[in-house]
């Protein structure tokens, strides 16, 4: 009695947690991690790629809502209905997934009354990619909550569910159907990226830059967070623009696959076409899927029709869905979807009035504005504008990296103290 299957025509699907649980013991990072792993359960076996994004255009919008939340499935407080998701289709809510914010969402909890968020998310994402309910007791797609399903890093879909998703999307290349039938030991997925905190057991190194005095090599918005790169290190700010740690993280320990001898990067940006992350250094570039480098990189930047000599900055401008590359006083406009440079470039910069003609890097932020960085200063350009907002430049260290007012010599003194 299953309906005609609906499925996504595209294979790259973006997702975003739009609202988080209000009174839950689970923090936003844990919620995002659980969503990542619940989606990965499906993309591990089917040719689907899920990418977390910051913008409101995500294919799968995830919300924690209460009671009537303006769809046809109002929630009913603790117990009863706990979540739902919309099947793929042309409607604007296709793929959207809603969790009842009044449930006691848990993760790795012994609380028998809690609702295991990972287990429910795997089920709901099954709907979001086109699977309906089944009566098979072992299936994750049977409609009743049956408790936790175990470790998100090791969870493997029951056979019935694997077959049903293969019927919709085929088998992922890396998955051998025979191997699946032979039920081998599940492969352990990579661990979630460790937050760049100060729990490292390695002693402090002499080449560690200080965030308050750094001229950053590159700045990028990746998955809605800001990354400030300097030398072999980077600082990370979460979506609320709060530094994850005052201490920088080591680039090579997080971005797996960058050559160890690489002492800095020139520019970084998240590609809008497939949400992969591109690093530039000199005449070469690397493409990362999440924080792992793709096979076959580095490649020459001539792939972008860029001349030898590298780039200073790379910036994806949502206003026209184009990527801009900057080098000295020149800039190029590139279409990431067609992978072609737009004709008529390079042009003499800058495109935005009031922004310096040479840049360290640029990024868009979740407030819709674009930010341009050079030296220890930054310029803000409001969404859709072609001119820097009045009152800029401002101090990058003060406004982004939790430093004091940059009094003369203070940054240097603080750096020396550090």
Q: How far is the CB of 293 from another protein (least distance, A)?
A: 38
Could you tell me which of 354, 391, 377, 25 has the C-alpha nearest to residue 214?
377
Cβ proximity to another protein, 81 vs 329, nearer residue? 81
Query: In the structure encoding, which two tokens stand for residue 96, read together?
Result: 């959207």
The reply on whether position 5 binds another protein by CB under 8 A is no
DSSP states of 312-344: SEEEEETTTTEEEEEETTEEEEEETTTTEEPTT
294 catalytic? Reply is: no
Tell me if 237 sits within 8 A of 65, measured CB to CB: no
Task: Enumerate residues 6+ apart whose C-beta is below 8 A from 269.
Answer: 220, 277, 278, 314, 315, 316, 323, 363
Restricted to residues 248-307, the positions that interact with another protein (CB under 8 A) are none
Query: Least distance (Å) from another protein to the CB of residue 79?
Result: 5
State which residue, 2 or 260, has the beta carbon closest to another protein: 2
Q: d(Cα 377, Cα 331) in Å, to the nearest integer?
A: 20
Q: Is residue 115 near another protein by the rule CB under 8 A?
A: yes
Binding mask 57-86 for another protein (x = CB under 8 A): ----------------x-x---xxxxxxx-
Site string for another protein, 143-182 (x = CB under 8 A): xxx-------------------------------------
Tell me which of 103, 124, 225, 377 is the catalytic residue.
Answer: 124
Beta bridge partners of 340: 335
Among 40, 51, 123, 162, binds another protein (CB under 8 A): 123
Among 52, 124, 360, 361, binds another protein (CB under 8 A): 124
Greatest alpha-carbon span in the chain: 74
Cα–Cα distance between 279 and 285 in angstroms, integer? 5
CA distance 4 to 125: 18
Shortest distance in whole angstroms from residue 144 CB to another protein: 5
Residue numbers at the binding site for another protein (CB under 8 A): 1-3, 73, 75, 79-85, 103, 115, 120, 123-124, 127, 132-133, 135, 137, 143-145
The catalytic residues are: 124
């Amino acid at each position: 009695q299953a309906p005609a299957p609906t499925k996504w025509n595209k294979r790259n699907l973006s997702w975003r947690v739009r609202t988080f649980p209000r009174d839950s013991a689970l923090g936003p990072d844990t919620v995002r991690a659980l969503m990542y792993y619940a989606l990965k359960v499906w993309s591990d076996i089917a040719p689907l790629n899920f990418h977390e994004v910051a913008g409101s255009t995500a294919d799968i919008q995830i919300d924690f809502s209460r009671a009537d939340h303006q769809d046809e499935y109002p929630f009913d407080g603790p117990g009863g209905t706990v979540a739902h998701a919309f099947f793929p289709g042309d409607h604007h809510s296709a793929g959207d997934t809603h969790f009842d914010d009044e449930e006691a969402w848990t993760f790795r909890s012994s609380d028998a009354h809690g609702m295991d968020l990972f287990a429910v998310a795997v089920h709901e994402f099954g709907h979001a990619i086109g699977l309906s309910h089944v009566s098979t007791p072992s299936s994750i797609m049977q409609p009743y909550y049956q408790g936790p399903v175990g470790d998100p890093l090791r969870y493997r879909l029951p056979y019935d569910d694997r077959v049903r998703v293969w019927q919709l999307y085929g088998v992922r290349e890396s998955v051998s159907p025979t191997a699946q039938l032979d039920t081998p030991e599940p492969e352990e997925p990579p661990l979630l990226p460790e937050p760049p905190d100060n729990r490292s057991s390695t002693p402090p190194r002499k080449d560690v830059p200080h965030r308050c005095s750094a001229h950053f090599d590159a700045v990028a918005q990746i998955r809605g967070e800001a990354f400030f790169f300097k030398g072999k290190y980077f600082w990370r700010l979460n979506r609320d623009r709060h530094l994850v740690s005052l201490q920088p993280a080591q680039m090579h320990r997080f971005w797996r696959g960058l050559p160890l001898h690489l002492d800095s990067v020139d520019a970084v940006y998240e590609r809008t076409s497939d949400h992969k992350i591109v690093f530039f250094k000199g005449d070469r570039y690397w493409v990362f899927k999440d924080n792992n480098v793709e096979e076959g990189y580095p490649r020459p930047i001539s792939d972008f029709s860029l001349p030898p000599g590298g780039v200073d900055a790379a910036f994806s401008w949502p206003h026209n869905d184009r990527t801009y590359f900057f080098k000295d006083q020149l800039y190029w406009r590139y279409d990431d979807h067609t992978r072609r440079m737009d004709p008529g470039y390079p042009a003499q910069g800058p495109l935005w009035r009031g922004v310096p003609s040479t840049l360290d890097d640029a990024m868009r932020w979740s407030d819709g504005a674009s930010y341009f960085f050079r030296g220890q200063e930054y310029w803000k350009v409001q969404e859709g504008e072609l001119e820097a907002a009045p009152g800029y430049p401002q101090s990058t260290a003060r406004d982004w990296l939790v430093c004091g007012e940059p009094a003369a010599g203070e940054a240097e003194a603080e750096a020396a103290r550090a």
